[in-house]
Homo-oligomer: A and B are copies of this chain.
Amino acid sequence: MPQPATPPTAAPTPVQLMDQLARAAAAYYRNFAAMAAEHGLTLMQGKTLSLLREPRPMRTLADLLACDASNVTGIVDRLEARGLVRREVAPADRRIKNVLLTEEGEETVRRIRADMLSGLTGLDRLSDEDRHAFQALLTRVFPEPTA
């Protein structure tokens, strides 16, 4: 018997979709933590490095990491001790310290990102239309912060 034009499986309920988002988010971070660990980094250290495509003040890092500013001191301390980042006082406002990647830090970020991408083999197999649709759906469910 030919299948009908409608999808062969029923559409998931919002609750079922939420559960699947939970599994996907867990899988993403399980991957990321494993890739960071291959470079001797914790999850938070890896996240911090990957946020430093451009130099950022400590305060901004705290906002992006969704943690208190006092935590960032220790995280950046450890990254700095390993030579992956350094602090620079901002000339315009000497209260601010910008954190930026060293060359070794940049190389580490490149490797982690490459490892992540090769782990997400499903992404490369998506068509242009599928990637476009995926992006649109993610944006609708997780909108960018308005501010």
Interface residues of A (CB under 8 A from B): 7, 9-18, 20-30, 32-33, 47, 50, 66, 113, 116-117, 120, 122-126, 128-135, 137-144
Contact = CB atoms under 8 A, between A and B. Distances in A.
Contacts of A20: 135, 138-139
A122 B135 contact: no
A78 to B, nearest CB: 20
- Of A18, A66, A123, A133, chain B has the most CB atoms within 10 Å of the CB of A123
- Of A7, A15, A50, A141, chain B has the most CB atoms within 10 Å of the CB of A141
Nearest to A143: B122
- Which applies to chain A's interface (DSSP): helix, strand, loop or mixed? helix
A35 to B, nearest CB: 12
A21 B11 contact: no
A135 B139 CA distance: 15
Nearest to A145: B27
B120 A18 contact: yes
Contacts of A128: 11
16 contacts: A9-B132, A12-B131, A12-B132, A14-B123, A14-B124, A17-B131, A18-B113, A18-B116, A21-B28, A24-B25, A24-B142, A25-B28, A122-B142, A126-B141, A133-B137, A134-B137
A24 B23 CA distance: 13
